[in-house]
Amino acid sequence: MTPILGITSSQWIASTFTLDYLVVAGGGGGGKGSDGNGEGAGAGAGGLRCTVDATGGGGSLPSAVTITPGINYTVEVGAGGATGAPGGNSQFSTITTTGGGRGGSQANAPGVGGSGGGGYGRTGTNDIGAAGTANEGYQGQNGTSFTSGGGGGAGENGGTDATRAGGDGIQTSITGSSIFYGGGGGGTTGCNTGGAGGDGGGGNGDSGSNPGNGSANTGGGGGGGRSCAGGVNGGTGGSGVIILRYPDSRTITFGTGVTGTESSPSGGYKRATITAGSGNVSWS
């Protein structure tokens, strides 16, 4: 074998290890309601890819990745979208997930994203729910007259016209507990009836006390804003998250600009949870 920095090829291969991941992008911002003209729609959840239990969009479970100690790997956590804006993409190494699509409004069509935004609540005006991204999330629900659609979730489409609910996310036990991520934002009907946000951090649609924001570090979509009171802004999207599970013999180093924590060993693993920022991580 040819030595590499004084290490034989067989020793180099033996030093690598496999890692499971959850990479969730930022959720989209809910659509704004327009006074007397239609309801703002729920936003789509951030795209989700995961190697443990389930992944977004009904796709096949991705494979764990091989990590070489001492090598830098790129990470970036997507921010949640403001009202009517998409969420930011997230990245770990070569795995990138797409920010959630914005909820529809009178001014803007719903956005395609990791999961798609719901359609505006006025027939013929930006009312067709947007598509999600393959293997990341689902589409948003269509809007009808004065009923806006719920945003798509990582685990299902936005809810029916009757429920206006955001689509649920997926459950994964990568942290050691089964937790939902990637719920879509709820839509609205009239001035005081909002749909529930999807499981996994989706914000509720506006029920007269302002729409819900997507929960931080879930990729949840923001809820849609109602048409009364001059038109109410939609909720903001929840930020994304990256969770990495690896053998407990390894230790992660977070580079400059990366906000993260490493858990104590449990069940043969450690978990790194990265909640914000962009930069690099490495392992020893």
> Which pLDDT band holds residue 9 (cuts at 50, 70, 90)?
very low
DSSP string, the chain: ---BTTB-HHHHHHH-EEEEEEEEPPPPPPPPPBTTTBBPPPPPPPPEEESSS--GGGPPPPPPEEE-TT--EEEE-PPPPPTT-PPPPEEETTEEEPPPPPPP-SSSPPPPSSSPPPPPBSTTSS-SPPP--TTT--PPPPPBTTBPPPPP-SSSPPPPTTT-PPPP-EEE-TTSS-EEE-PPPP-EETTTEEPPPPTTTPPPPPSSS-PPPPPTTTTPPPPPPPSSTT--PPPPPPP-EEEEEEETT--EEEPTTEEEEEPPPBTTEEEEEEEEEEEEEEE-
> Which pLDDT band holds residue 245 (cuts at 50, 70, 90)?
very high
How confident is the model at residue 2, as a pLDDT? 37
> Which pLDDT band holds residue 1 (cuts at 50, 70, 90)?
very low
pLDDT one-digit tens code per residue, 167-221 = 999 999 999 999 999 999 999 998 878 999 999 999 999 988 889 999 999 999 9
**Stretch 117-143: mean pLDDT:** 97
- The pLDDT mean for the chain works out to 93
pLDDT one-digit tens code per residue, 70-93 = 999 999 999 999 999 999 999 999
> Which pLDDT band holds residue 230 (cuts at 50, 70, 90)?
confident
CA-based radius of gyration for the chain: 20
Per-residue pLDDT at 17 exceeds 50: yes
Per-residue pLDDT at 280 exceeds 90: yes
Cβ contact 44:100 at 8 Å: yes
Q: Nearest-CA neighbor of 243 among 86, 75, 26?
A: 75
Per-residue pLDDT at 126 exceeds 80: yes
**Stretch 249-259: mean pLDDT:** 98
**Stretch 43-50: mean pLDDT:** 98
Per-residue pLDDT at 5 exceeds 60: no
How confident is the model at residue 241, as a pLDDT? 98
Per-residue pLDDT at 28 exceeds 60: yes
How confident is the model at residue 10, as a pLDDT? 42
Q: Nearest-CA neighbor of 211 among 105, 88, 77?
A: 105
> Which pLDDT band holds residue 66 (cuts at 50, 70, 90)?
very high
How confident is the model at residue 22, as a pLDDT? 98
**Stretch 249-276: mean pLDDT:** 97
Higher pLDDT, 209 or 115: 115
The backbone torsions φ and ψ at residue 177, rounded to the nearest 5 degrees and listed phi first, read -125, 150
How confident is the model at residue 146, as a pLDDT? 86
> Which pLDDT band holds residue 12 (cuts at 50, 70, 90)?
very low
